[in-house]
Structure formats: structure tokens, C-alpha cells
Amino acid sequence: MFRQKALINVTGHTLRPGGLMLTSRAVDFCGFDPGARVLDAGCGYGMTARYLSDRFGIRALGADLGLDMLEMAAAKSGDRIPFAQVKLPFLPFGSGSLDGIFSECVFSLIREKERCLEEFLRCLRRNGKLILTDLYIPQRFAGMEPETRNPSQAFSCLDGALPILDLIRTIEDAGFQIDIIEDHTRLLKQLAGQMIFEHGSLDRFWEKTDARICDSGLASSCRSGRLRPGYCMIIAGKYKA
């Protein structure tokens, strides 16, 4: 989904509801000092990493699988922000080497969620923070058959999204302690309104996306109106060595 021009035309290169608003809110909550080493995991075009560096003086790093997006991110950032081609869940950083990790609209795309959280926990220093913003789905969709949820090939954020209680449980089971949970579904609704304004209707938006996306798994249920996803921000800390 994040490579679809129909989405980029609405969100710009932040590729998520609310743009950088929740990024700023998370930095204020976490209180990162200038010089803190913070990773943007799944950085895409590097918008968060540049924002952290330029606005807060944070030593930002970016990691993503998409080489084309990383090249654009590096071109816009110069030499001040290092970017690495990485396939999550694995991270090429030392244990306890990061003060924070942002995962913005990325975690739902990770198939090995438990392994990914283990890597996040490993790389964070004690008292380090994980900031996760993502979609969540209604609980009644949790037990859908694999053919319907299509977990082997997640084309959209919805295909790998979890119910909110499952998401909380997965984070806590990995060893994190959750500091705050905020519901920001209104930002998702605002994004839907922007899509309608840009494309004329949500149906027109879906028509302009790859057919494999809008016809697969939970994206199909969302397009039909049977599924109404939510959007949340979770900040969790590593408080045990």
C-alpha cells in the first residue's frame, strides 16, 4: 500500500494518518535529549528520521527494505543521517545501543511480530522507548482463516493488523512495559476524508490501487464496509536489563 501513488498523493512521503503529529507527541512524551540515538524502523522515505534530526537534534538512523525509498531518503538527508537496507525483524545494531525506536505504520506489515519485538528489546538500552503507531482491527476478525487473512503475503497494513488487546498482549509478552495507549482513529477518519477529497470517493481511491491490495484479505472487507479499523499509538519502555 505504501508504494501506491494514490496514497502518496494524499499523505505525502509520511505515508500515515496524521503525518508527523504523533511523532512530535511521542518525542515530547519520551523526553529524548539532543544527541539521543533513535532508530526509525521501516523508515520509508526518511521523513521521521529527518524530522527527529532537524527539529530535536536527535541522532536519527533509518532502516528499511526498499532500496529506492532509502536512496531518496539519503539524497534528501545528506550525510547527517545514516540509512541501512534491513529486512525486519532483524536489525544490524548492537545490544543496548539505541535510546528509542519508532515503528510507524510498519509493525502490521511484519510477519514475525514476536521476533521483531525481541530485536527491538535487544537493541534498546535500559529505559529506552518503543513508539508504535499502527492500525488495529475489531476483535471479531481475529480468528479468520489463513485463506481470508492471507498472512503469507501481506499486501496492506490491514492484512497483518491485530486486535488492540492482542497487540497489547504481544508487546507485553515480549518484555516491554506499556507507558501509554492512545486511540487516534480520528486521524484515520481524517485520512479517509482526504482520500475522498483527492479522488472523489473511497471507491475511486481503491480503483487506483493495485488490485492485489484491494481484493486481498482484510483490505477487501474494509472496502466493502464490513471492517472498520482503528488507529492507535503505544509507547512502551524497556525497564529490565
The string of pLDDT tens digits covering residues 167-200 is: 999 999 999 999 999 999 999 888 777 666 566 7
Q: How confident is the model at residue 8 (pLDDT cuts 50, 70, 90)?
A: low
Gap between the Cα atoms of 234 and 145, Å rounded: 27
Domain boundaries, the chain: 5-135+146-237
Q: How confident is the model at residue 162 (pLDDT cuts 50, 70, 90)?
A: very high
Which of the following CATH numbers is that of domain 5-135+146-237: 3.40.50.2300, 3.40.50.150, 3.40.50.1700, 1.10.540.10?
A: 3.40.50.150
Q: What is the structure's pLDDT at 61?
A: 97
Query: What is the rounded average pLDDT for all residues in the chain?
Result: 85
DSSP-assigned beta bridge partners for residue 132: 103, 234
Let me know: does 69 contact 133? Beta carbons within 8 Å.
no
Q: What is the structure's pLDDT at 144?
A: 60
The predicted model scores a pTM of 0.86
pLDDT tens, residue by residue, 89-111: 999 999 999 999 999 999 998 98
Q: How large is the C-alpha radius of gyration of the chain?
A: 17
Gap between the Cα atoms of 167 and 33, Å rounded: 28
pLDDT tens, residue by residue, 219-236: 777 767 788 899 999 999
Is the model's pLDDT at 155 over the cut of 70? no
Gap between the Cα atoms of 124 and 132, Å rounded: 14
